[in-house]
Structure 1
Amino acid sequence: MQDYYCSIKKIFFNGVLLLSVLFAGCNSDESEIEEAQVVIDFSTPVTNVKSMSGFLHGIGPDRPSDSLLTPLAPKLLRSGTRFFESYQRKKALFNDAKQILVISGLWYHGPGKGFSVMPFDDYNVYENFLIDVAAQTKGEVIYDVWNEPDVGFVWTGTKEQFYECFKFTTEVLRRELGSKAVISAPSTHWIPEWIEGFAEYCEKERIAPDIFSFHELYETESPTSVREHLQHLRYDVINKKPFLQSNIKEIQVNEYGYQGSQHTPAMILGYLYNLEKGEADGACRACWREDGLSSCWNGTIGGLLTYGDLEPRAAWWTHKLYTESTNNRVFSQGNVPYVSNFAYISNNTPKIVIANSNSKKSINHFQIKIEGLQSVTTIPKDSVLVKFMSIPNTNTLPNSGLEILSEGYYKIHNDMLNINIDNIHSLANYVLEINPSN
């Protein structure tokens, strides 16, 4: 069967189902923690959930089909080099999504001549270029000044020259567009000297982007690092600089995800969960080269679909599941940062998403404590049928979505239900669906 489990055991003990999951080919070097817990209350709605659904490139003027895009409901779409090819299509499909225009992408195919010319080589040419961009877009997009100026072949100047370019770009666009000019920067990798150096420059010069942006792309044991970086940026950098605190409106991670784990459901859920917990205002999944082809430009939504046939992969189903979870979300709280957890109600059916988003740690005993089921009109007071499902980790192969692993009947006591799962290995994912028992 799937490559991430080999057998399921159902054991009833005092009315509680213990689901023991034994993995085939698991990493014997995994470290273990004894216990972890999630508490869920279906009677406590969570309002104003900020969806982290968003994508870098990956959507063409006619590929993929609308039916593969609309279930993902992205809130942030970032593009540059081919921005205008799909701009109108994205605008029509997702009228509540914000579109980010990466200025350096247009410059690359225009006056920049493949980055052989930099803005600081002739600011008169660059100014005329910016005036044209402003006239074309009319302030309807977010203006991302430069993509990854910390990378040498993308920005051939110094950090100080980038700071100067940021200031020049911001002043020209705000002059041309007034309050419609929403500026994003610096869009570097998470490199403290770049992030903090840029913040110090902005505070000193009293000029700030509307959106402070960065990229989270490095290999990591667990995506909890993005939460830590977001919190450090907000509370230790921005909030300690009065001018920035007053003028920066959002923090976005406009590229996230390590290439080696981009197709793994548990890692995807881990990034989305920690982006939420880190209080990001928006995020975009990165795109990469695979087998000599770029998933940025082939209509696969950054690798969510197979090449050629455009069939959903596990990653597509995972993003669809996450988007579904952002509607009718209810309270859930875990005690281990890398255990991603979302609880929500879909069509009067309570659902719970759990993922061990750590690539090196397993959990011996995991407890889900559920309250407030009586607030869901379809759920009886005495017992329920719980289905345990999972998205198979099929990597780049086509995938048909959730598969049922097991199901069992549970007694509800005083509107409370406990579920215990034993031996959750690294990168396991579960979806629990709670149904009437009759």
Structure 2
Amino acid sequence: MTARLSRAVVPAFLTIVTLGVAGTPPARAGPPPATLTAVASVDFAHPEKVHSLVGFLHGLDDTQPPDRVVVPLHPTLWRGSLASASYDRATALGARYMFVLSDLWGYPGAGWYGRQAPWVDWDKWSAFVRDMAAENRSRRLIWDVWNEPDWPYFWTGSEAQYHELYRRAYVAIRQELGPDAIIAGPSVSVFRWDWLTRLLEFCRSADCEVDALSWHELPGGGAISSVGAHARRARLGLLHNPAYAQVGLRELDVSEYVGQRDALYGAEALGYVSQLENAGIKRAAHACWQEPSGVDDCHAHTLDGLLTATSLHPRAAWWALSWYARGTASRVWSQSADPALAIMAARAVDPRHAEIELGYLDTHDRALPATTDVQLDLSGVRHLRFAGRSGRVRIRAYRVRSTGEAQTAPTSMAPPSVVQGAPGRLVVRVRAVGLHDTVLLRLSAPSRRGRR
């Protein structure tokens, strides 16, 4: 991973500093293959109930970014300090607000904002949390106690001291707001099984609760394909573990996702959210980083880098996530046989269209060719209301290329080849999808002359 920057909101007079360098990316074995055909399947007869995982950090005031670029994303989570993102606007947009208490207390890397470390005087910390809870009694907040306590910029105490900090915050919030308030932790910088399990074990013995178990997915040198594996492990081993029922665990949140080197790519954005959605994550938020040009997306109205810094026009990741978001209400089963191909499908984005979204992403763990063909096995086509008994449809294809910090927009592709199989089944082949490209297949009724 490249040198990592603080994503906390700090006073304007403080400089965002480089925090350090993690491990180098794993070596890739040999040159990429000359060609690749990625295979995936969609079943339009198999609806799935899912949660949209479009969310953001900071960067929202009463008017900026404008609604024209926020509303199509249907954000479901906004994470901030209340000062860094407008609660009223975020909730009006349909998002749940995750309030990061530590963003207002301060961090050691920023001189504690003139305060002391919480463990110097625990009573002051408890009073601070109690005051915050009382001030925000009318707001439906998720209370994220501390950001990345495993990272020295944000925390220099011990893990045991973090546990005490969490317990005191839990007591203050429960006393002020009662049992319905959602309290989240530990919000570690990467998936750390040790931190997750030790917080749960601590609360089992200390009579506290962890309503939302949270961590960040910023893989750096690791493979993006690990994101889904982490979430599945946490769901099976922690969320569904009866041993943790007494601590009130009810959801898994990835409160920051997307590593710095993936932040400007559309296919990679789809890769993260598709894995998190398939693994049953409840809420998630896109991370913010410093761009190659120096723009700090944590302090700009760029939707964490989805928009250009000056004109606020969409980049590739904006298109990828807007297509993803509009499909969540009618999501159907889909599966890719290759981690380098992300796929999401929707049966009815409107009464006349179904959609399939594809992303060819760099998984960072193997060499990949510059383009891939995609073969799709579509079943349940007759369940599309516009297809009728024949199961015949028209398919149009659109591509968004990742253009770094520049704005971009979809362009039409050559129509994919379509072979009619058994009733209700189609085999579709999309050619020459470029690395980092996002492709949208838009299905509609065939023309009267029967063309697709």
Match of 1:352 among 356, 364, 372: 356
Instruction: Return the TM-score normalized by structure 2.
Output: 0.82
Question: Residue in 2 aligned with 1:104?
Answer: 102
Q: Comparing 33-42 with 314-323, which one deviates more in the overlay? A: 33-42
Q: What secondary structure is seen at the aligned counterpart in 1 of 2:113? A: coil
Q: Comparing 415-424 with 118-127, which one deviates more in the overlay? A: 415-424
Once residues 364 and 397 of structure 1 are traced to their aligned partners in structure 2, the CA distance between those partners, rounded to angstroms, is 24
Does the aligned pair in 1 maintain the 2:362–2:435 contact within 8 Å?
yes
Once residues 77 and 340 of structure 2 are traced to their aligned partners in structure 1, the CA distance between those partners, rounded to angstroms, is 24
Pairing of 1:285-364 with structure 2 (within 5 A): 285-290=286-291, 291-344=293-346, 345-347=348-350, 348-359=352-363, 360-362=367-369
Q: Which residues of structure 2 form unaligned runs of 5+?
A: 1-28
Q: What secondary structure is seen at the aligned counterpart in 2 of 1:394? A: coil
Structure 1 residues 382 and 104, CA, compared in 2 at 3 Å: closer, same or farther? closer
Q: Deviations over 1:313-333 (max 9, x none)?
A: 111111111111212222223
Does the aligned pair in 1 maintain the 2:50–2:328 contact within 8 Å?
yes
Q: Which amino acid aligns with 2:128?
A: F
Question: Residue in 1 aligned with 2:119?
Answer: 120
Q: Comparing 167-176 with 100-109, which one deviates more in the overlay? A: 100-109
Q: Deviations over 1:78-120 (max 9, x none)?
A: 002624x6111222232xx2100000011129xx842751211
Match of 2:425 among 397, 416, 422: 416
Does the aligned pair in 2 maintain the 1:217–1:255 contact within 8 Å?
yes
Question: Residue in 2 aligned with 1:254?
Answer: 255
Structure 1 residues 274 and 118, CA, compared in 2 at 3 Å: closer, same or farther? same
Q: Comparing 237-246 with 353-362, which one deviates more in the overlay? A: 237-246
Q: Deviations over 1:171-219 (max 9, x none)?
A: 1110111123210000012234333332332333342210000011122
Does the aligned pair in 2 maintain the 1:39–1:332 contact within 8 Å?
yes
Q: What secondary structure is seen at the aligned counterpart in 1 of 2:414? A: strand
Does the aligned pair in 2 maintain the 1:384–1:412 contact within 8 Å?
no
Structure 1 residues 66 and 366, CA, compared in 2 at 3 Å: closer, same or farther? closer
Structure with bigger strand share is 1
Pairing of 1:38-437 with structure 2 (within 5 A): 38-46=40-48, 48-80=49-81, 82-83=83-84, 86-94=86-94, 97-108=95-106, 113-114=112-113, 116-138=115-137, 140-189=140-189, 190-220=191-221, 222-240=223-241, 242-244=243-245, 247-290=248-291, 291-344=293-346, 345-347=348-350, 348-359=352-363, 360-362=367-369, 366-379=374-387, 381=390, 383-400=392-409, 402-407=410-415, 410=418, 412-413=420-421, 414-421=423-430, 426-435=435-444, 436-437=446-447
Q: Deviations over 1:352-386 (max 9, x none)?
A: 11223334335866421112222323336275432
Once residues 377 and 72 of structure 1 are traced to their aligned partners in structure 2, the CA distance between those partners, rounded to angstroms, is 25
Pairwise CA distance, 1:226: 1.3
Does the aligned pair in 1 maintain the 2:200–2:247 contact within 8 Å?
no
Structure 1 residues 200 and 61, CA, compared in 2 at 3 Å: closer, same or farther? same
Structure 1 residues 418 and 255, CA, compared in 2 at 3 Å: closer, same or farther? same
Aligned residues: 406
Higher relative contact order (CA 8 A, sep 6+): 1
Does the aligned pair in 1 maintain the 2:316–2:400 contact within 8 Å?
yes
Structure 1 residues 406 and 142, CA, compared in 2 at 3 Å: closer, same or farther? same
RMSD: 2.7
Structure 1 residues 384 and 115, CA, compared in 2 at 3 Å: closer, same or farther? same
Q: Which residues of structure 1 form unaligned runs of 5+?
A: 1-26
Q: Comparing 35-44 with 274-283, which one deviates more in the overlay? A: 35-44
Does the aligned pair in 2 maintain the 1:140–1:180 contact within 8 Å?
no
Q: What secondary structure is seen at the aligned counterpart in 2 of 1:407? A: coil
Pairwise CA distance, 1:422: 5.3
Once residues 105 and 434 of structure 1 are traced to their aligned partners in structure 2, the CA distance between those partners, rounded to angstroms, is 45
Structure 1 residues 29 and 245, CA, compared in 2 at 3 Å: closer, same or farther? farther
Identity %: 29
Pairwise CA distance, 1:246: 5.8
Q: Which amino acid aligns with 2:306?
A: L
Q: Comparing 238-247 with 132-141, which one deviates more in the overlay? A: 238-247
Does the aligned pair in 2 maintain the 1:305–1:311 contact within 8 Å?
yes
